[in-house]
Amino acid sequence: MKTSNLFRHLFYLPFGIVLLSCSSTQNMQPGRLIEGYVTDVNGFPVRNICIESPQVIQHIGHTDYNGKYSLWVQDKDEVQLTFHSRYNKLPDYDGALEIDDYEAQEILVRRSDTLVNIMIKKTADRERWDWLIDDELSRARYIEGHVNCESGEALRPLIWVEGLPFVPRETPFFTYGDEEGYYRIAIPSRDEVRVVFRQAGYAHENLILKENFSDKIDIQLKVKASDI
């Protein structure tokens, strides 16, 4: 029995050493939290803005639906922060070329600053896109439904409209399914419209809509053959 106890203690000893080592490493890298809000020129929150820093410790930050961000950085007298929308790309989009939605901003944050609010401005390209978006929306209609897999489980895919004169990201022509698989998306006025449903692990679904299409359409995604 004593030999068994000794073996058990020896078996767990390396894990204790590793945990102690990790804890010591973290204590050797003190940092501080910088947080704040990103808004546009009209004071509205802007989501999916990327915040990067050469002094970052934890990870790159992104703004949420309320425009809020949090970033853990090294505890230095000055920390450089960069706010941009370059990372925010739509995968495999068949249509217009991607643009930066907002002009990048670089600022220096002093040690005493913990709450840093930023106002960012749309790029000239995005301003031109906004006119196109408003025009398309004035003539659009909506469809809604649920997305499930073959077993009936709700899915939360990316859903977007192809072939627009702008990338539909952050517009009513781009959406996600919610926890119950429900979606609602704007459909432009066209003779034929293709809507893409994309989720990792499942084959993409291309929904082709022509005249007199239904306002309610349920979608079933199939597992990729390579994943079966």
Domain ranges of the chain: 2-122, 125-227
- CATH topology match: 2-122 vs 125-227: yes
Q: Do the bridges between strand 105-110 and strand 174-176 make them parallel or antiparallel, or are there none, so unpaired?
A: unpaired
Q: What is the pLDDT of residue 227?
A: 58
Cβ(165)–Cβ(97) below 8 Å: no
* C-alpha angle 191-193-197 in degrees, rounded to nearest 5: 165
Dihedral sign, Cα of residue 111, residue 116, residue 119, residue 124: positive
Domain 125-227, CATH among 3.40.50.10420, 3.40.50.300, 2.120.10.30, 2.60.40.1120 = 2.60.40.1120
Strand pairing class (31-39; 118-119)? parallel
Q: Can you say whether the dihedral through the CA atoms of 147, 153, 156, 162 is positive or negative?
A: negative
Q: Residue 61: in which H helix or E strand, if any?
A: strand 61-62
pTM for the full model?
A: 0.72
The correct CATH number of 2-122 out of 2.60.40.1120, 3.40.50.1580, 1.10.10.10, 2.60.40.420 is 2.60.40.1120
Q: What is the pLDDT of residue 1?
A: 46
Q: Residue 219's beta-bridge partner residues?
A: 147
pLDDT number for residue 23: 35
What is the pLDDT, as a whole number, of residue 58? Answer: 67
Residue 70's φ and ψ, nearest 5 degrees, are -140, 135
User: Mean pLDDT for each consecutive 10-residue tract of the chain (228 residues)?
Assistant: 41 35 42 92 94 82 91 89 84 84 94 92 95 96 97 95 93 95 97 95 95 95 79
83 burial (CB, 10 Å; 0-12 / 13-18 / 19+) is buried
Is 181:148 a contact under the CB 8 Å cutoff?
Answer: yes
pLDDT number for residue 122 = 95
